[in-house]
Chain A
Amino acid sequence: MKREAQVLKGHLDTLLLATLAAGPRHGYAVKEALRQASGTRFDLPTGTIYPALRRLESAGLVDGSWSVVGGRRRRTYALTGAGRRRLSGDRTAWRDFASTVTSILDAVPCRAT
């Protein structure tokens, strides 16, 4: 699981952008969307999601805006045009990479030692 967390960290930006593809969400909803979309397998620490969203915002990939919900202020993030372009590039790159790795793994005969 520790190794999986490391790999996941490398794809954090793409996964965060992907959770915003369907529409704007606030930080905790991003975390929940990620958890649910992965069938509760990816339960990222909440403490890494909020700072990462701010970083994506200063990189111009998402846009944060305030609203008032239930009497408290809430910050919601939406993809920007640049964010959408990055996500679509990341998606293509990931599919290429994954299909290459899969074809190599499938080509090598699996032999138990």
Chain B
Amino acid sequence: MPGDLISTYLGELSCRLPADITEEIADGLVEACEQHRARGLSEDDAARAAIAEFGDPRQLAAEFTRHAAGRRTARIMLASGPAVGACWGAALIASRAWTWPVPAGAKIAFGCLLLLVIGALASAAGSQRSYRLTRLAVPGGIGLIMLDLTMITTALLAAPAVTRVLAIAISASLTRVGLGARFVPRVIAR
């Protein structure tokens, strides 16, 4: 049955891809079937030809994953890590951050959250086959924005003076917040 062939194919896709992508492919498959029917193929052969055109569902899902907006966003956010981190490292040393009145618990919580955020972004950026993993760019990106804003607020409240090094670190963080605000909504819209 041609309908069965196509629904089996779509079933395999829907395990791997979001519903809206599966729906788009479903429309494409019906369109392809109609084209092949118009060229004289039987209903069964038309369904087979349409499926062959779209290719193996695992490969198609992997191709969508490779092009996923989440993967690109996570890469951009991760790439900012070393530069922004170095700016903050220099700023914290220069303004003797260890003398700031910040509770140890808060520092530990910040560190743990930072590790979680890096983990989420790295999983999204490196995902080869799982489209779902690329969605981790959303919590990862939002988490990184929150951490940047926390750093900026803490520095402004706790640092005795805003030195030039600190101002550079704050602008680096603000730039990244801007990047996140631009790219994360594109992943959410998917």
Give residues in A with beta carbon < 8 Å to B: 26-29, 32, 45-48, 50-52, 54-55, 58, 69, 72-75
Contact = CB atoms under 8 A, between A and B. Distances in A.
A69 to B, nearest CB: 8
A75 to B, nearest CB: 5
Nearest to B50: A46
Interface of B: 20-21, 23-28, 30-32, 35, 53-55, 59-60, 63-64, 66-69, 72, 186-187, 190
A52 B67 contact: yes
A58 B188 CA distance: 11
A72 B28 contact: no
Contact of A50 (B64, B68, B72, B190): B64
Contacts of A29: 31
A72 B64 contact: no
B67 A27 contact: no
A103 B186 CA distance: 44
Nearest to B55: A47
A27 B24 contact: yes
25 contacts: A26-B27, A26-B28, A27-B27, A28-B27, A28-B31, A28-B32, A32-B35, A45-B53, A45-B55, A47-B53, A47-B54, A48-B63, A50-B24, A51-B60, A51-B63, A51-B64, A54-B64, A54-B190, A58-B72, A58-B190, A69-B27, A72-B27, A72-B30, A73-B23, A75-B23
Q: Label chain A's interface by main secondary structure.
A: helix
A46 B31 CA distance: 12
Contact of A54 (B32, B59, B67): B67
A28 B64 CA distance: 16
